[in-house]
Amino acid sequence: MSEDSDLLVNDHWIVSMRGNKNNVDPQKPYGLLVEKERTISGKIEDTGIIFLTNRECPFHCLMCDLWRNTTDEPVAIGSIPKQIAWALDQIPGVKQLKLYNSGSFFDRRAIPVEDYKEIASLLSNFETVTVESHPSLINEKCLTFRDMLKPDLQVALGLETVHPQILRTLNKQMTIEDFRDSVSFLTKHGIRSRAFILLRPPLLSESEGIYWAERSMDFAFNTGVECCTIIPVRAGNGAMDFLMGKGDFNLPDIHSLEMVLEYGIGLNKGRVFADVWDLGLFSNCNNCIKKRTDRLIEMNMSQEIATPIKCECNDA
Ligand code: SF4
Ligand SMILES: [Zn+2]
């Protein structure tokens, strides 16, 4: 880790580094896609992801760019169910769903509690529904929503990293003990959880990035999460670009993502996925980027270690 960084990260600085938000419509999700994912039972199924438009997350994590597609004020009661109904019309037949809201589903200023019932009724044909939340917002409200819901509820929580100093620097306003308590609460109430883990957050070298992603996965599975998703850290939100320019952040390498995914699958403690969006960002080798992307997707689907890619860039 870089010892001579004078990095002072706080809400004010992170927000001051931002560019403009995108124009969003509070009556429509800002994104919708269907991708294949391996379910807990081992089947590969279409999974819908609805990117709900709602109020900006009250936390300001250093690496986050999700604020781009959010509103400044809470959306009206009824807007979220309307967005979900619109999206579901586009993806008939899908049985697995993620509702991602650029923040925390259980933030009442993002998703009004008054809308829970209607949301639950819209989701009655699904088998699983995954929502995301900051660990500090995991409480009885999750159970209220779960009790209204027919599909299995799963909650995705950002652990990010267990490196104590880096976790503080990320401005996540959370300790690893908070994360553990939230997972325990969910597990105690029969709700499965998934951890988001960062590959190479700022101030770490490539090898430290790999080491801490692996330790973070160890920790996450020990707390009882059912699944981990490894996210290679990107720039693009202002603050991260500044750090990159200063040499305090570098994009991780796709080889590292492969190594960390292999490690996680080898643990055999639960499903482990690599985030495979925009992988071209993490490779300088046109010869193998396609093959490596396919390999990561194959491992995501099979949860087995696929044959390594041979390429000159392995020795670079
Ligand atoms: S809690 Fe999640 S959505 Fe909110 S700022 Fe942090 S990373 Fe972004
Ligand atoms: Zn290569």
User: Tokens 């019309």 map to which residue?
Assistant: 89
Query: Residue 62 is encoded by which pair of tokens?
Result: 């250093």
Question: What are the helix and strand counts (H, E) for the chain?
Answer: 10, 8
**Residue 242 φ then ψ, to 5°:** -60, -45
Contact 37, 83 (CB under 8 A): no
Which pLDDT value is given to residue 2?
Answer: 59
Q: Any residues with Cβ below 6 Å from ligand 1, and which?
A: 57, 59-61, 64, 66, 102-103, 134, 158
Is residue 255 helix, strand or coil? helix
Whose alpha carbon is nearest atom 3 of ligand 1?
103
- Which atom of ligand 1 is found nearest the CA of 64? 8
How many angstroms separate the alpha carbon of residue 256 from the centre of ligand 2? 13
How confident is the model at residue 115, as a pLDDT? 98
pLDDT of residue 8: 73
- The per-residue pLDDT for range 211-269, each reduced to its tens digit, is 999 999 999 999 999 999 999 999 999 999 999 999 999 999 999 999 999 999 999 99
Ligand closest to Cα of 170 equals 1
Tell me the per-residue pLDDT of 207-223, one tens digit each, with 9 for 90 and over: 999 999 999 999 999 99
Measured from the alpha carbon of residue 285, the closest ligand is 2
Low pLDDT (below 70) residues in the chain: 1-7
CA distance 21 to 32: 19
Look up the pTM and report it: 0.96
Q: Which domains does the chain have, with CATH numbers?
A: 16-304 (3.20.20.70)
Give the single-character DSSP code of 4. T
Element (H, E) at 206: helix 206-223
CA 249-156-242 angle, to 5 degrees, is 15
End-to-end CA distance of the chain: 22
- Which ligand does the CA of 158 lie closest to? 1
User: 261 C-alpha to center of ligand 2: Å?
Assistant: 18
Closest-CA residue, ligand 1 atom 6, reads: 61
Q: Give the number of other CB atoms < 10 A from CB of residue 174.
A: 21
**Whose CA is closest to atom 8 on ligand 1?**
64
Please give the structure tokens belonging to residue 111. 């998703």
Distance (angstroms) between ligand 2 centre and the Cα of 217 equals: 27
Neighbours of 191 (CB within 10 A): 19
Q: Report the atom number in ligand 1 closest to the C-alpha of 171.
A: 6
Ligand 1 centroid from CA 58, angstroms = 8
Residue of 214, 208, 246 lying closest to 230 (CA atoms): 214
Residue pair 72/105 in contact by the 8 Å Cβ criterion: no
Q: How far is Cα 208 from Cα 199, in angstroms, rounded to an integer? A: 9
CB count in 10 Å sphere of residue 4:
5
State how far the alpha carbon of 12 is from the alpha carbons of 62, 205, 246, in Å: 11, 27, 19
Distance CA 23, CA 121 (A): 29
Ligand 1 atom at minimal distance to the Cα of residue 103: 3
What the block records as the tokens of 249 is 């952040």
What is the pLDDT, as a whole number, of residue 57?
A: 98
| CA 254 to ligand 2 center in whole angstroms | 10
From CA 58, how far away is CA 159, in angstroms rounded? Answer: 17
**Nearest alpha carbon to residue 193 among 142, 231, 263:** 142
**Which amino acid belongs to residue 302?**
S
